[in-house]
Every structure is written in structure tokens, then in C-alpha cells.
Amino acid sequence: LPAIVVTHAYLASDDSRYDHVARGDQLWNPYRYIRGGAPGQVNDGEEVWRKLVSRNDNIRFVLCGHDLGDGIGRLTSVRADGSTVHQLLANYQMEDLGGGGYLRLMQFFPGRRRVRVRTYSPFLDRIKTEPDNDFSLDY
């Protein structure tokens, strides 16, 4: 069955997965603030990709938050079998009013295998219309 993985620290706001081996400069990688755990207790985005997402072609999306940059990121990756997975970061907490209540809405159109992603605040009754916050993806 098609699946969506929802996790915490997976994608950074520079559109790359957290990777403590190749990208030691990523400030918000979980390895930087979770120390001394048992082996396997911590997995950053690249490890989740390698161990789970890249091996399961039914995973269509990975959704995450956490990053304290601009809070927006998007990466589409192709697995070895040729299938794609969209990875989306949305974290607005650093904006005014603790993020202004913004959240992502995903409207699926199964017949077209397309999803419309919009960013809306019920608190402010506003929609963010910039391309990074209002877009469509084929899946």
C-alpha cells in the first residue's frame, strides 16, 4: 500500500537530508544534540533514507519538521528501481507568533496521481503563496 513517513529531523532547509557523516556542518542534525545513545538509537535523514525509504517503493512521501533555518525544504529522490519519493520539510516556528499557526495541507488527486501542497494558517486565515509553499507534485 502507498505510505507516507512522518518523522522529525530528516530534511534540512537547504533541500538536503541530514547526514552526520558527509555534512558535519548541519547545525540541527540529531547527532549534534542526542549524544551517548545506544547504537541505532539515533538516525539522521540519510540513515532513514538508506535503511527505510530507499528500500520501500511504496513510500511516496517523507514529511518532517525540526530545521530552524527558513523551515522550508523539498527534495525528490529516485530509488535504485526508478521510483520516486518526495521529501518535504515544513517548520514555521521561527516566524512571528511562534509560526503563526501555519501548517501544510495536502490535497490528493488519485486519478491524476498528483498532490497539491498549500501552506495555510487557520489562526491568521492566510495562505502562503510563494512557490516553496504552494505547489503540486506528481506521485
pLDDT in tens, 62-112: 999 998 888 899 999 999 999 999 999 999 998 888 889 999 999 999 999
In this prediction, residue 126 carries a pLDDT of 96
Q: What pLDDT, on a 0 to 100 scale, did the predictor assign at position 98?
A: 82
9-48: pLDDT as tens digits: 999 999 999 999 999 888 888 888 777 666 678 899 999 9
What's the pLDDT score for residue 16?
Answer: 96
pLDDT of 36: 64
pLDDT value of residue 39: 66
Per-residue pLDDT at 38: 63
Looking at residue 11, its pLDDT comes to 96
Residue 72: burial class (beta carbons within 10 Å; 0-12, 13-18, 19+): buried
Distance separating alpha carbons of residues 11 and 79, to the nearest angstrom: 17
